[in-house]
Amino acid sequence: MTSYSPPRNRMAVALLSLVGLFIALYMLAYALGLTGDVMCGIGDCERVQNSPYSRIGPVPVAGFGVVGYLALLVATFLGIQPGFQNSRWIPVTLLVGCSLGLVFTGYLTYLEAFVIHAWCQWCVASAIIMVLAFLASLPEVRRIGENR
Amino acid sequence: MSSETSGGSLRGFYIVFAVVAVVGLGAVGYNVGSSAFSKTAMEPVDLAGAVEDMRVLRDMAVPVTLGEQDAPVTIIVFGDYYCNHCGAFSLRERPRVVENYVNTGKARLVFYDFVLDPRPEAGTFLAARAARCAGDQGRFWDYHDRLYRSQLTWGMESDKVSVFQEYGAELGLDTGDFNACLKSDRHAQEVSANRELAHALGLGGTPMVMVGTGRGMSRRLDNYYFETIQAAVDEILGDTATNQ
């Protein structure tokens, strides 16, 4: 009997998504007025979070983060189950999700650096998480070919 | 499956995942929960015996001032945020007082909160604190006037905290700081002490305008109209000029 070994990169994306989800939840709670001061040891989180760019329409940007991280979390959680080892949509979902997340977080980082001229440590942490998740999702390119 | 991306232990992963989940949930939950359960001061607080000692009470009572510290005349106003005559004074008469006397260095305006209805549901104590929270960001008078312009609106609202938060955002305040201040007991002592000071002085209503030199007793005016204030201030200025 051989023991099942789940893909490490998917476990890594799952853990990164979980941490990202909590950061996004914290930022969303702040945007909705459910917390007081935002904890911010580095940078000027209040300025970033209160800028006009902190919302897309009526929705706080953090809300998109919560949905995105949650989607990645569900996909990776399924992806580490034995029954989904050869699924074709898991690699596609992870690659597309991480790529979209990378583009979105890149846009937000651009806004911090060149438009708002202030940094929020939580946004930077989320951006680093997204870059790492994207890198961890790259082995999925090979799986798409393998699972054809 | 390649060895570089496979081979992890599912059980070990679940343990690490659970630890991260518990820590994350705890951190976010604690932050939101502590904010939700933090005591928003909605009514006057106990001043621990200061009421009986006028000198202690005067030290605890902190007005908001406008104008030069060494102005020859001091105009003291006791006001309540739900009193419509206080609104009339603030929006109609005060600008004329400021223009003619405060901006010219002849007088200093001193405002004390006098919360007439201390019940939490009345919202006037919270309104006074909200104005002072705005004052922490240098916007006391803007917020003060905003409250007077919308007395009936916020007065009828059941969720006054949210309305006051909206006013803060509308004025472009740092909402994080402002909301945190509003949902705490910051400025509760000053506002409570100001109210007790008004009681100790025997003031029966608002707005109460008093004019003096800032030393000794001030003269209570019969009404809050600019012309009445003007006459009282000019009289002191005339006396000051005669004595020099």
Tens digit of pLDDT at every position of chain A (148 positions)? 556 788 899 999 999 999 999 999 999 988 887 776 677 777 778 778 778 888 888 889 999 999 999 999 999 999 999 888 888 889 999 999 999 999 999 999 999 999 988 898 999 999 999 999 999 999 998 888 776 6
Residue B4 confidence (pLDDT) above 50 = no
Lookup result for tokens 């006028």: B54
Note whether B184 contacts A35, CB cutoff 8 Å. Answer: no
Closest CA–CA distance from residue A3 to any residue of chain B (Å): 9
Average pLDDT of span B224-234: 96
Q: How far apart are CA A48 and CA A94, in angstroms?
A: 29
Closest Cβ–Cβ partner in B4, B31, B176 for A50: B176
**Vertex B173, ends B171 and B178: CA angle to 5°?**
125
Domain extent listing, chain A? 8-146
CB-based contact B214:B77 (threshold 8 Å): no
Note whether B180 contacts A37, CB cutoff 8 Å. Answer: yes
Helix pair angle (B175-182, B160-170), 10° resolution? 150
Q: How far apart are CA B61 and CA A123, in angstroms?
A: 42
Band the pLDDT of B49: cuts 50, 70, 90.
confident
Note whether A34 contacts B36, CB cutoff 8 Å. Answer: yes
May I ask the CATH class of domain A8-146? mainly alpha
pLDDT value of position A69: 97
Which pair of tokens denotes residue B122? Answer: 């009345």
DSSP character string of A14-59: HHHHHHHHHHHHHHHHHHTT-SSSPP-SSB-HHHHHTSGGGEETTE
Instruction: Classify residue B121 by burial, with Cβ atoms within 10 Å: 0-12, 13-18, 19+.
Output: exposed
Note whether A26 contacts B174, CB cutoff 8 Å. Answer: no
Which pLDDT tens digit goes with each residue over B134-166? 999 999 999 999 999 999 999 988 889 889 999
The C-alpha R_g of chain A, in whole angstroms, comes to: 17
How far are the Cα atoms of A49, A101, A108 from residue A116, in angstroms, in the given order? 10, 20, 10
Q: What is the DSSP letter of B41?
A: -
pLDDT value of position A57: 86
Minimum Cα–Cα distance from A80: chain B residue: B10
